[in-house]
Homo-oligomer: A and B are copies of this chain.
Amino acid sequence: MSKFKSLEEAIKELVHDGDTIAMEGFTHLIPFAAANEIIRQGLSDLTLVRMTPDLIYDRLIGAGCASKLVFSWGGNPGVGSLNRFRDAVQNGWPKPLEIEEHTHAGLSNRYLAGATGLPFAVIRGYQGTDLISVTNNVAEITCPFTGERLTAVAALNPDVTIIHAQQADREGNICLWGITGIQKEAALAAKKVIVTVEEVVDAFAPRSNSTVIPSFVVSAIAIAPHGASPSYALDYYIRDNDAYIAWNAISKERESFEAWLVSEGLRK
């Protein structure tokens, strides 16, 4: 009953066609290895949730794994646009992509509501924007004490959340540090949690701003060194910025993207 599995096994056992999956990591610790495995296994009809779709979802969308995207900022950070995302939204290629679009505060609070076992969370936001009219899962709510009108966002509870962390210990507890983003909330909101890690250690060292996720809320752990590359893992490796820049050319045309899928062994 060990939670340690190969990445292939973990994805095969826990992720299914049609699932809602969240893969989080805010510019840091993005679970690229797990995403590649999802493409390799040819999963389809996924609802993909992620604040910043980034290269990782550009790949999944271009590979045809997704039917819906829930997100709050869809660019190639520091570089420009996400070409496969744009091709899907603008031209429906390789298949139509339904989108549900939020602000960062809105989507992070959808996870927060999910993690706290509530059906919604309250924020001050969205009002006056055109987002309200195009986005589901946002509603007005009135303060029962002051009468003030605020915004409610519906809880998000993914079928599976996948994150990458620097370390697991031998009991299957998880430790990540540096920019820890929305990983804890995304994990705690999910029905199942897969974590890929750089390495397994005997004990976690004291570190500022580290986040520890206890084993008892984790479904499976896969050891995946460099599993966040081309993003970075603080104290392990830096961001491969050339890969981010190169992605612009790779993803620009459908043909160059498909050639890349084959060259990476993600498609035969």
Contacts and interface: CB of A to CB of B under 8 A. Distances in A.
Interface of A: 117-124, 137, 139-141, 143-146, 148, 150, 152, 154, 204, 206-208, 210, 212
B152 A145 contact: yes
A144 B148 contact: no
Given A206-B206, A207-B208, A208-B210, 16 more contacts: A117-B124, A118-B150, A119-B143, A119-B145, A119-B150, A120-B143, A120-B144, A120-B146, A122-B122, A137-B145, A140-B144, A145-B152, A204-B208, A206-B207, A206-B208, A208-B212
Contacts of A207: 206, 208
Contacts of A144: 120, 139-141, 152
Contacts of A148: 119
Contacts of A139: 144-145
Given A206-B206, A206-B208, A146 B124 contact: no
15 contacts: A117-B124, A118-B123, A119-B146, A119-B148, A120-B122, A120-B143, A120-B146, A121-B122, A122-B122, A139-B144, A140-B144, A141-B141, A143-B152, A204-B208, A206-B206
Contact of A122 (B118, B145, B204): B118
B145 A120 contact: yes
Contacts of A140: 144
B120 A124 contact: no
A154 B144 CA distance: 8
A120 to B, nearest CB: 5
